[in-house]
Amino acid sequence: MDKIRTPSLFPQRKKQKWMHPSISLSSCEVKFSELVIFIMERKMGVTRRTFLMELARRKGFRVENDDSVTHIVAENNSCAEVLEWLRGHKVRDSSKFELLDISWFTACMAAGKPVESEKKHQLIVKASSFVAGTVSQYACQRRTTLNNYNKKFTDAFDILAENYEFRENEVSSLAFMRATSVMKCLPFTVVRMKDLEGLPCMGVRSNLLLYVQEIIEEGESSRVKDVLTDERYQSFKLFISVFGVGLKTSEKWYRMGFRTLEEVRADKTLKLSRMQKPGFLHYEDLVSCVSKGEADAVSLIVNNTVRTFLPDALVTITGGFRRGKKIGHDVDFLITSPGLQEEEEILHKVIDLWEKQGLLLYYDLVPSTFEQAKLPSRKVDAFDHFQKCFLILKLHQQRVDTSSSSTLKESDKAEVKDWKAIRVDLVVSPFEQYAYALLGWTGSRSSNLNNMIFLKAKSEEEIFAHLGLDYIDPWERNA
């Protein structure tokens, strides 16, 4: 696959006042390569900015103006002013950076190393300057990045929503899910009840607001603490962590008296499904998070394999990783091709090859149901009718520390596991419906536009336009 060149985060433009050539300090040793600083010239001036850049580099910091930037430092600028400045220079995804006041930079220089970006250093939008009426009642129109300023509230709501889901109370579960979605999109931290006035999905349920008030006043919710120690919740949470186990099975096992996975494994009369068997066998791997690096490694395998049989295929990573997440529970891919004729064959060929290569640990191939489907449907999302395959792949990993393994006995070396089981979903879409499949499988679930008729659309932008909606980038769909 040809490498696609990523455009510079801050594109070089002729005669732009804010852009100056990098200072040549090749003799300076870079001590902190993970952190890359960009210093804004706005309200600072050329001379001072140049001095600060030189100072930072002498102390071992990286100072750049490209797409490697992680921290943006500003002086005498509000968060709104920095965001406006970024938009003016065509930088749309501000969630990639930490926006910090010059006080953080000064603290780093004094310490001679990076310091924690405390709240006093962070540039955030104040609630007083935020207009609640700008928050859409529709999740698909709320720009929600990975910057969650209200995590203590949304974490609590997620637990409550999950508990209601375990108890099959869909109305209450949905209410907390919607509240979570709204609070995730807020560009400020809620510190008082007045901050919620005028926001959608927040005033319908009085008990929801009581939880918010308790968290504001006490820092936590007593109800959430009760849920976390509840035996039923703990058991269901544990059971559904197993690949292939849903709410019905969890209910069954709980009624049978099981409370731990060890008890389930020990029961010889219990018949596990074809999916649950590998779920238990590879439990430790599957319950751990998939890193961005692991997702990229899987992406390389999927791309190379699919293009062995379909050279002009488009293979796109979807799900949370397309929305900018650094970790996930599985890796999703969408496959299509302008010349895709053997839609029912491509996944069979891919599966057969992985089986021969010893990479396939489990698969479940689900055929397309588009011909039988009556769309649009209120019961099933349209993109659920695409052909798909749920797999567990063996991802071989290089040992980080090879020196330690050299001291092992030969018998022990044979037992050292050099691979990890990774959950992978493959979805095959007809080329003319690719844009809809891409939108649906990118998510998040709250952001999806459901029950759509397939009007002609070559891109996600055209789908939004068909519905008269503002286009929302994938990294802003983390509702």
Structure tokens at 284: 């430790």
332 is catalytic: yes
- CA proximity to 397, closest of 420, 430, 364, 370: 420
Confirm whether residue 226 is marked as ligand binding: no
Distance CA 261, CA 366 (A): 28
Residue 155 annotated to the active site: no
Residue 201 gets the label, from left (phi > 0), alpha (psi -120 to 50) or beta, of: left
* Residue of 296, 332, 418, 470 marked active site: 332
Q: Is 384 annotated as a binding residue?
A: no
- Give which of 172, 91, 78, 167 is closest to 130, Cα–Cα: 78
Determine if residue 470 is labeled as part of a ligand binding site: no
Which of 42, 154, 191, 216 shows the shortest CA–CA distance to 446?
154
DSSP 293: H
What 3-state DSSP class applies to 265? Answer: helix
Q: Are 385 and 433 in contact (CB under 8 A)?
A: no
Residue tagged active-site, from 67, 155, 425, 473: 425
Separation of alpha carbons 68 and 183, rounded Å: 29
Decide: helix, strand or coil at residue 157: helix
Give the C-alpha separation, 98 to 122, whole Å. Answer: 8
Residues 427, 441 contacting (CB under 8 angstroms) = yes
Q: Which residue in 327, 319, 237, 321 sits closest to 289, CA to CA?
A: 327
- Residue in 330, 364, 418, 473 annotated catalytic: 330
Kindly compute the dihedral angle of the four CA atoms of residues 232, 238, 243, 247, in this order, to the nearest 10 degrees.
Answer: 10
The annotation places the binding site at 330, 332, 425
Q: Which residues are catalytic?
A: 330, 332, 425
- Binding-site sequence positions for Mg(2+): 330, 332, 425
